[in-house]
Structure 1
Amino acid sequence: MLIKSVSEKRKESYISSTSLVIIALASAFFPRVLMLIKFPSMVNFLHFAIVPFVFGIAISKSRSQNRQQLAASKQILFTLLLLLTIGLASAFLNDVGLINVILQFLLFNEPWMLLLAIICIPMSTRSLNQCRNYVLGFGFINLIFALLQKFILRWDRGLDPCGGLDGVDTITGVFVCQGAGCIVGASVSMALSAHYFVAAKHRPLWLRGLIIFACLVQIRRFAQRFCTIVRVVTWIVMKPYSLDLREKIISTYEAGNTSIRQVAARFQVSKNTVQSLLKRKQATGTLKPAPATGGKTSQLAGFEQEIAEMVEQHQDYTLAEYCESWQEKTGVRVSESTMCRFLQKQQLTVKKNISQRSSRSSG
C-alpha cells in the first residue's frame, strides 16, 4: 500500500508539472486573442511571470538520471545564465534600467526556458502524449485562426481590427495585432505542418498533405515566404530516426502482445518503417542507419559483409544464383545488374568466371 501511495503521488506530481508547462505555453500563445475579446491589456504580460515560475519549478524538481537529458539541460541552462550575465553587465556599463534588461531577456529567451522545463520534468508516457497533444492543438488553433482571418473575416482586405497594419501583416493566426505577428504565426504553422507530416505517419497521407496545403495558403505573402524556405531546408537536412528510437521500436514489438500497426501508432512512424527495421535487424543484426551517400543508393548498401560471406561460400554461383540466394536469405529481390554493380564496387572476385559459367549452363 505504501509503494502504491508513493507511486500515485509521483504520478500526480508528473501530471501537475505537465499542466504547468501547458499553462505557461498558453500564456505566451493566446494573450492577443484574449485582448481582442476585451480582456485587460495586463493579460499580455502574464507570461513574463508564468514562464519563469514554471521554469523554476521544473529546475527544482528535476531528478533525471538520463545522460542525454542532463547534458542538454546543462547546455541550455549555461547558455541562459551566460546571456543573462552579459545583459546585466551591459546594463551596468551603459547605465540601463534593470527592468529593461530582464524584460528583454525574457522576451528573447522564453522559448528556451520552456524547452528546458519540458526536458527537466520527469514525464510518464501518458503525460508526454498529453503535452504533445496540447502543443499540436495550439498549433492547429493558430492555423484555423489564420484561415478564418483570410477567407471569412477578410482581414487582408482592410477589414482587420488593428487599423495600423497593412494587408500583408494581418493574417497572423493567434498572434493578433502585434508586430511581425504574421511571421510568428507562419513559423508556428510551418513547424506544425512539417512535424505532423513526418511524425503522424499513422494518419492518412491526404490528411497530412491537406495540413501542408493549408499552411502554404497562410504563408502566401512575400514577408512569410522566408519562413517557408527555412522550414523546407530544415526538413531536407533532417537526420534519420535515431538509433535509440529504432531500438525502442523493435524491443516493443519483440516484447509481444502487440502488432506492427500498434507499434507504428505508438511511436508515430509508418508501418513500412517498422517493417523495414525488422527486416534490417533480421538480415544484418543491427539497426544502425546506412551512411548517407550521393546519388541513388543501392538496394544492397549496408550489407557489404553479408554479400562478401555469400560470395566466399558460393564462389561458383552465377549472378542469377546470387540474386536468388540473397532473396531466400533476406526476402529482398534484386536484379542481376544491381548485384553485378555491387560486386564490382566491392571488388569481390570468384574463382570461376561468372559469365563463362552462365554461358556454359545455357549451352
Structure 2
Amino acid sequence: MQNRLQLSELNGPANTEGRIGSTSLVLIGFASAFFPRLLASMGVPSIINFVHFLIIPSAFLITIFTAKTRDKKRLNVVWQLMTGMVIFLICMMASALLNSAGIINIVLQFLFLLEPFMFLAAIIVLPMSGDRLKRFQYWVLGFAAFNLLLAIAQSILLPIGLYPKPDGGTLQDNIGGVFGGGGGSAANYIACTVSFYVGVYFFNQFKHRALWVRLLPLVGAIYQIQVSDSKQVFLALVAGWGLLAATKVERPAKLLVYISIFAMIIAAFSWALLNLESAILSPYQNWINRPIWGWDGLAAETKFAAFRIIPTHFESPLNWLFGLGPGHTVTRLGGWVMRDYDSLLRPLGATIHPASKQVFDVVFSSYLPQESTIYFPLFSWAGIWGDMGIIGLLAYLFIGFIIWKQICVDDFGKFLLLSTAVFGCILTQMEEPGHMLTIVCLLGLRWQEKRAKELTQRQIAMQTQ
C-alpha cells in the first residue's frame, strides 16, 4: 500500500490545480528575492528588498500545510529540517533574552539565516515530476540566464556609457547582473557566483545537449567573474573544490595525488603573480604584499578583528555559549542592515550593540579592506558566533549536517555547501538571499530529480513483476 501511495505522486493527486498553485507560489518567492535590487535600481521603492521576507515564509507555511504527499522519505527530510530550525530558534531566543535584544532583532535574524532552509523545505515537500519538475527547472534556469546575460551586457555597455551607472562603487562593482544596485555592494560577487553554480548544474544535467552548448553558460560565468573583478569567487570555488576532493578520498595515495595537483596549481599561480605583468593578474597581486602577512601582520589583525573585539564585551561565561545577541555583532543584520536602515528599525524596537560599530570601524582603519573585501572583518561565520555563541554556531551547523546527509544527492550539492561555507569566511554572502535561495533551488531540484527517478524505477519494477 505504501509503495502505491508513493508511486501515485508520479501522476499527481486529484487536486492538480492546488499543487500547481503551490509550485507557482514557490517560484514567486524565488523571484521576490532574485529581482528586487534590479527593480529598486529602476525606481521601485526600496521596501521591495524586504518583500521576500513576507512571501517566502508564507509560501513555506502554505506548502507545508497544503502539500498532499504521503511519501515518507519526503516528509522525513522536511521534518528534520524543521526540527533543526526550531532548535536554532530556541538558541536565538535564549541569546536574545540573555542580551536584552529586541524582538525585531530575533525576527530579522531568523529570516536572514533560516529563510533559505524554509524555502528548501517548501521545495522538498512538493511532489514534483514530469512536466511540473521541468517547469520549475526551466524557470530557475531562466532567471539565472537573465542574470548572466544582463551582467555581460553591463560589462559591454557600462564602459561606453550606454548603461546607467549607479552612484557608488567602481565600474567592476556595478557589473552585478540583476543584483546590482550601486553603492559598491557585493552584487558582482553574488551575480557571478549564481551564474557559475547554475552553469555547473546545466553542464551536468543537460548531457543530451552538444558539448559547446553545455559549456557556454560556464564560459559566460567565468568571463563574468573576471570582468567584474570578483577574485574572491575564484578563491571560494577552488577552496570548495579542494574540500570536496578531500571528502571523496578513501585511500591516502589518492589524497596525495589531489594535494599534488592542487599544490602545482597554486605554485604556478604564485609564480605568475610574482613574475608576470598582466591585466588579468593585477587584481590578485595585491594579495602578495609580503609585509602584511604573519599572525601579527596587518592582514590577520584586520581580518580577525571580530574575534578580538567581541569577547571584550562579554559580561559572563554564558556569552561564550550564547554570544551577544541576534543582530548585535557582525552578521549581515548587525554589520550592515542595522546601520543602513537605522531610522526604520529603531522605532520598531531594534537594539544595536557597540561591538558592531567597533568592528566596522576596523574597515576604515587601514587601506587593506578598501583594496579587497577578502580582508573584511565582517563575515558570516564570525557573525553567527558573535551573535549566538558556540551553541548557536553548533545549531546552525546541525542544519547544514541535515542538508549534507539528506538532501545533497551528489557531489554537486556538496560542492555548493562547501564553497558557500568558504564564502562565509570572506564576507556575508552566506546570508545574501539571492545567493542562498539559488543554492537551495539547485539542491531541491537535484533532490526532486533523484526522487522522481527512484519512484519511476520502482514503478517499472512493480509493473514487470
Q: How does the TM-score come out when normalised to structure 1?
A: 0.61
| Deviation at residue 80 of structure 1 after TM alignment | 1.4
Q: Is the 8 A contact 2:13 2:68 kept in 1?
A: no
| Deviation at residue 88 of structure 1 after TM alignment | 1.8
- 2:52 is equivalent to residue 70 of structure 1: no
| Deviation at residue 232 of structure 1 after TM alignment | 4.5
Distance 1:102 1:29 in 2: 21
Q: 121-130 or 133-142, which moves further after superposition?
A: 121-130
- 2:200 is equivalent to residue 194 of structure 1: yes
Structure 2 CA distance for partners of 1:235 and 1:86, relative to 1, 3 Å: closer
Structure 2 CA distance for partners of 1:134 and 1:244, relative to 1, 3 Å: closer
Cα deviations by residue, 1:176-226 (Å, 9 ceiling, x for unpaired): 126322222122111110100000111111111111110100112312212
**Matches of residues 293-308 of structure 1 in structure 2 within 5 Å?**
none
The residue type paired with residue 194 of structure 1 is: V
Indicate the residue corresponding to 1:34 in structure 2.
39
Distance 2:159 2:457 in 1: 46
Distance 2:218 2:58 in 1: 35
| Deviation at residue 48 of structure 1 after TM alignment | 0.8
Larger relative contact order (C-alpha < 8 A, sep ≥ 6)? 2
Q: Is the 8 A contact 2:195 2:217 kept in 1?
A: no
Distance 1:148 1:172 in 2: 10
| Deviation at residue 161 of structure 1 after TM alignment | 3.0
Q: Secondary structure at the match of 1:169?
A: coil
**Matches of residues 152-301 of structure 1 in structure 2 within 5 Å?**
152-154=157-159, 161-177=165-181, 179-220=185-226, 221=229, 222-230=231-239, 232-233=241-242, 238-239=410-411, 245=453, 248=456
Structure 2 CA distance for partners of 1:64 and 1:109, relative to 1, 3 Å: same
| Deviation at residue 253 of structure 1 after TM alignment | 11
| Deviation at residue 18 of structure 1 after TM alignment | 0.5
Distance 1:230 1:248 in 2: 37
Indicate the residue corresponding to 1:89 in structure 2.
94
| Deviation at residue 71 of structure 1 after TM alignment | 2.2
| Deviation at residue 228 of structure 1 after TM alignment | 3.2
Indicate the residue corresponding to 2:286 in structure 1.
none
Indicate the residue corresponding to 1:114 in structure 2.
119
| Deviation at residue 245 of structure 1 after TM alignment | 3.9
| Deviation at residue 153 of structure 1 after TM alignment | 2.4
Indicate the residue corresponding to 2:19 in structure 1.
14
Structure 2 CA distance for partners of 1:104 and 1:19, relative to 1, 3 Å: same
Any stretches of 5+ residues in structure 1 without a counterpart?
A: 1-6, 257-363
Q: Is the 8 A contact 1:168 1:223 kept in 2?
A: no
Q: Is the 8 A contact 1:24 1:50 kept in 2?
A: yes
1:46 to 32, 47, 51: 51
Structure 2 CA distance for partners of 1:127 and 1:49, relative to 1, 3 Å: same
The residue type paired with residue 114 of structure 2 is: N
The residue type paired with residue 40 of structure 1 is: P
Cα deviations by residue, 1:324-345 (Å, 9 ceiling, x for unpaired): xxxxxxxxxxxxxxxxxxxxxx
Q: How does the TM-score come out when normalised to structure 2?
A: 0.48
Cα deviations by residue, 1:35-82 (Å, 9 ceiling, x for unpaired): 111111111111110011001101112342223212221221111112
Indicate the residue corresponding to 2:258 in structure 1.
none
Structure 2 CA distance for partners of 1:209 and 1:233, relative to 1, 3 Å: farther
CA radius of gyration, larger in: 1
The residue type paired with residue 224 of structure 1 is: V
2:61 to 39, 44, 56: 56
Any stretches of 5+ residues in structure 2 without a counterpart?
A: 1-11, 249-409, 413-445
Distance 1:47 1:228 in 2: 27
The residue type paired with residue 83 of structure 2 is: F
Q: Is the 8 A contact 1:88 1:98 kept in 2?
A: no
Distance 1:136 1:244 in 2: 19
RMSD: 3.2
Q: Is the 8 A contact 2:225 2:233 kept in 1?
A: yes
Q: Secondary structure at the match of 2:15?
A: helix
Distance 1:234 1:54 in 2: 34
The residue type paired with residue 134 of structure 1 is: W
Q: Is the 8 A contact 2:63 2:122 kept in 1?
A: yes
Q: Secondary structure at the match of 1:137?
A: helix
Q: Is the 8 A contact 2:19 2:67 kept in 1?
A: no
Q: Is the 8 A contact 1:24 1:54 kept in 2?
A: yes
The residue type paired with residue 131 of structure 1 is: F
Q: Is the 8 A contact 2:78 2:124 kept in 1?
A: yes
